Each structure stands twice: as structure tokens, then as C-alpha cells.
Amino acid sequence: MRLAGVTLGQVTPDDLERALATAREAEVTYDHVGSTLAPASRAGRRPYVRQRVLGLGPDDFAAATERLRAWAPQRGIGSTVHPADAHIETGGTIVVELRRGPVAVVVPNRIVAVVDEPRRFGFAYGTLPGHPERGEESFVVELTVEDVVTGTVSVDASPATLPARLATPAVRLIQRWAVDRYLDALVVA
């Protein structure tokens, strides 16, 4: 049984393939693309932003970048990413499955921007139809001029479904928990 992006029971590989095929044909469900990466595009929006020290020096930066490329933040909250070998590239589409007991949430996302600079790497992905939220998350690792490696996660999203709107206080708590776990998964040192 599936209701508002939540599935009770088994999600099969065929279900994930169908969700991915549908997501690849869809457009993002929000109008503030880039709001988590570019302050100028926020136009009064206030993303939830958390930053943490991940390590020190170029080797830790390289390790954190590789963790980000391998979807460590998503896996850090117990999710699986489909396809498992998805590359971080603008326009790439993924389906993230988060399962807790008999309940699964399957959410489609599209990578809307990639940052690939000598001292900064990351990406932003946005929601697609079928996602219980509407908006964007970004994940960025940076090697500062002081050789400190930082990780930043920004969320600019709101509930997209009636159940998500009704559960807004709980959704916000879950979102904050997830952001902390995302950053935990990137810590190198």
C-alpha cells in the first residue's frame, strides 16, 4: 500500500526501477532552483543550514569529497540510493529509499547543480513529483584557506503533501536529525 510517498510493505527492485523511470521524465517541483547554493537566488528564503568541521588538510578534503561522491550522507541516515552507482552530475536523477521496519519512504530527486572547484565540491538536488516535500538540499565540502575541511548541508524545502503538512513539527525534527547524520557521515578525522 502506498500513500503520499509512504509505502507499507515491500519495495521491490522493480518498484524502484519504475519510480526511477518516472522520475527521469519529471520536472522539479519547486521554483527556487539553486537557493541552497547561491544566496542571490534565495529572494527572502531562509534555508536551514548546518556546518561542521570534517577534518584538516588536503587529504581529508579528498576523503570527504569521495564520501560525498559515494552518497555517504544519504547512507548515513540508513537510506539506499538507486541506482547505487549514480554519478554526481547535473541532471542526474536518483531515487532514495528510507526504510524503517515495515514502512518505506521512496523519494525521487534530481541533481540541479554541481560545485567542482579545487577547494570546494558539492551538489544540490531538488524534489520531483512523488516526494513528500518540495524544495532542495545541498551538500558541500570545502577546504578553507586555513586548511580546515568543512561540510555544509542546506535545506530549503516545505511540505508538499497534506500528510507532510499535518506532520510539519515532526518533519522538521526528522529533517534536523537527518542533516546532523548527513554531516556525521562526512567526518574524516
Average pLDDT score over residue span 5-12: 70
Domain region containing 160? 2-37+46-186
**Residue 48: which pLDDT band, with cuts at 50, 70 and 90?**
confident
- The pLDDT of residue 100 is 84
Please tell me the total count of domains within the chain: 1
Average pLDDT score over residue span 94-123: 93
Q: Is the pLDDT of residue 1 over 80?
A: no
Q: Residue 94 is part of a domain; what is its CATH number?
A: 3.30.530.20
- The pLDDT of residue 136 is 95
What's the whole-model pTM score? 0.91
pLDDT, tens digit, for every residue of 130-174?
888 899 999 999 999 999 999 999 999 888 877 777 877 887 888
- The pLDDT of residue 5 is 58
Can you give the chain as a three-state secondary structure string?
CEECCEEECCCCHHHHHHHHHHHHHCCCCCCCCCCCCCHHHCCCCCCEEEEEEEEEHHHHHHHHHHHHHCCHHHHHCCEEEECCCCCCCCCCEEEEEEEECCEEEEEEEEEEEEEEECCEEEEEEEECCCCCEEEEEEEEEEECCCCEEEEEEEEEEEECCHHHHHCHHHHHHHHHHHHHHHHHHHCCC
